[in-house]
Amino acid sequence: MVSRDEARELARAECERQGIAFEEPISVNGGPLHYSVWTRSGTRGGNAIVSVHRWTGAVQLRGVIPR
């Protein structure tokens, strides 16, 4: 099982691979199957949303909200 800290690092690596800024503050929200990792948490726009599967660690970029 993937921890919240591991999910954050997996999301950071995916953002770097995709060429997307991984800006603080970071929010990691847990659901039953996936963690949702949001960059620029608490702000509107410029957010990247990454989904990390809790059991396998599979990472998928869900989207980037434009500024």
**Can you give the pLDDT at residue 67?**
83
Q: Which domain holds residue 20?
A: 4-65
Q: What are the φ/ψ torsions at residue 33 (nearest 5 degrees)?
A: -120, -25
Looking at the 3D structure of the chain, how many domains does it have?
1
pLDDT band at 4 (very low <50, low <70, confident <90, very high): very high
Average pLDDT, the chain: 95
Segment 6-33, tens digit of pLDDT: 999 999 999 999 999 999 999 999 989 9
State the pTM of this model.
0.92
Q: State percent of the chain over pLDDT 70.
A: 100
Rounded mean pLDDT of 46-55? 96
